[in-house]
Structure 1
Amino acid sequence: MTLLKDSTVLVTGANGGIGAALVQAALDRGARRVYAAARTEKQWDDERVVPLHLDLTDAVSIEQAAATASDTTVLINNAAIFPHGDLLTAPWEQVTEVIEINLTAPIRLTRALAPALRSAKGALVNVNSVLSWFAVGKAHSVSKAGLWMATNAFRLELAPDGVQVLGVYPGPTDTPMQAGKDPAGMNKPADVATAIYDALEAGEHELLVDDMTRKVHSALSAPVTALYPALAQ
């Protein structure tokens, strides 16, 4: 289990819906410092929040951010993008960008901050997605499936050092990533943040946030047509 009180938390994608909710919820639970990492820094109303420039497409920026936040005890890889093009027809640069930001960058940042997490016996949280197991997200699903496995690998590598690794899998959430869609029935960012910290403080390894995620996850052991009925036609 990992307590938020007196922790030092780094949240990537801190300006977005879930990211901003994670920053606020960490403060509410007594975090000593929260690094709010984003490509464009913004000012926050709490002096415990440290705006941190982080460009996830730039390896140097990742290393510099990790050096600045070397006292991190809880790393939350939350930032992601969601282009909607097909794997076969989208511009190749779009496919590689989503994999770079959603998969490669979290691995780079985790590697850079692993010494700090090990020293603190802290925690790594990867905010993933139901689309880790459901291919309708195209390149986004590919990147999230990769992050799912990376989370499992990090869990095995960090467990001997007492570092908790939590994989988080929400369904659709009312954030700018879902702009233009009906928010009815979507998760609320604040509820997702609360569930994440509850799971962290309970010592959990994995959090399936909602019924949709649990349904998709349970279908993985069934024939592939359970998730993709069109294939049975």
Structure 2
Amino acid sequence: MKLEGAVVLVTGANRGIGAEFAKQLKTRGAAKIYAAARDASAVEADGVEPIELDITNAGHIEAAARAAGDVQVLINNAGISTGTALLSGDMADIRREMDTNFYGPLQMTRAFAPILGANGGGAILNVVSALSWFTAPGAGAYAASKAAAWMLTDSTRLELSSQGTHVVGVHMGLVDTDMAKGVDAVKVAPADLANAGLDAIESGAQEVLGDDWAEFVKAGLPLDPKERYRQIFSALGIS
């Protein structure tokens, strides 16, 4: 579909990748951009309609669906990382990551799928991660939630195909945002990632490998786990 003239809702639009999605959508001529954030006053982009939306709050999601019944494209971008290990970490943090990174996008998709269908099918873009395909020390909760988000993307693509809704998954390594500011490594620019995702919506591509790291990790999936992690940990400098 063409984004020029489209009505789009972006979650987590107050900063980072979400803010860049809103900016690039405006550049591409979107007719209306709902910029959703837990604190709507934190949305600084011009030419958007801020919406207060905590994607872990069912009441907020229902209100957003009532207010934005003209949406044609849903961008599930909001997410968190707590750096929690699965065995030793706080269960509350693990649940918070699953609630935000999996259940939140799932509930958003369930709420907006009928709206997209009524408006011609449209598209859904899920910001996933290369960590949907591997894990590392301290990243267990995040990786588990993103693995679930990957399968959410595949499952909803199949379930929504009959109504003509195109579903895109975006995978990447580190992005130059606040979430990764403490990591000294190569990072993809938020603008580049957002543009790659929007290109996929317009071209009909189902999956975006947003940087070299995502391509490297995806290429190793057919390997035996021992060899796959040997390669990944070697690249990360983990012994």
| Amino acid in structure 1 at the alignment position of 2:171 | Y
Give 1:46 shift.
Answer: 2.8
Q: Distance in 1 between matches of 2:24 and 2:77?
A: 14
The counterpart of 2:148, out of the listed 146, 149, 161, is: 146
How has the CA–CA distance of structure 1 residues 85 and 45 changed in structure 2, closer, same or farther, with 3 Å as cutoff? closer
SS of alignment partner, residue 227 of structure 1: helix
Normalization by structure 2: what TM-score?
Answer: 0.92
Please give the secondary structure, in 2, of the residue aligned with 1:82: coil
SS at match of 1:180: coil
Could you say if the C-alpha distance between residues 45 and 179 of structure 1 is closer, same or farther in structure 2, counting changes exceeding 3 Å? Answer: closer
Taking the aligned partners of 1:228 and 1:30, their CA distance within structure 2 comes to: 43
Which residue of 1 is the match for residue 236 of structure 2? Answer: none
* 2:86 match: 87
Match of 1:54 in 2: 53
Measure, in 1, the Cα distance between the counterparts of 2:17 and 2:46. 18
Per-residue CA shift, 1:127-168, capped at 9, x if unaligned? 100000011221010000001001001000111111111111
Q: Number of residue pairs matched?
A: 228
Match of residue 164, structure 1, among 159, 163, 166: 166
Please state if 1:194 is matched with 2:204: no
TM-score for the superposition, normalised by structure 1: 0.94
Q: Secondary structure at the match of 1:140?
A: helix
Taking the aligned partners of 1:227 and 1:17, their CA distance within structure 2 comes to 30
CA RMSD of aligned residues (A): 1.4
- 3-state SS of paired residue (1:124): strand
- Gap regions ≥5 residues in structure 2: 234-238
Alignment-mate amino acid for residue 157 of structure 1: E
Residues 199-210 of structure 1 aligned to structure 2 (within 5 Å): 199-210=200-211
Alignment of 1:86-125 (within 5 A): 86-120=85-119, 121-125=121-125
* Shift, 1:226, TM fit: 2.5
| Closer/same/farther in 2, CA of residues 200 and 45 from structure 1, 3 Å limit | closer
SS at match of 2:83: coil
Give the counterpart letter for 1:3 in structure 2. Answer: K
Identify the residue that residue 69 of structure 1 maps to in structure 2. 68
Contact 2:19–2:45 (CA under 8 A) maintained in structure 1? no
Letter in 2 for 1:15: N
Unaligned runs of 5+ in 1: none
Displaced runs of 4+ in structure 1, greater than 6 A?
A: none
**Counterpart Cα distance in 2 of 1:19 and 1:90:** 28
Is it true that 1:133 corresponds to 2:150 in the alignment? no
**Whole-Å Cα distance in 1 between the matches of residues 89 and 113 of structure 2?**
35
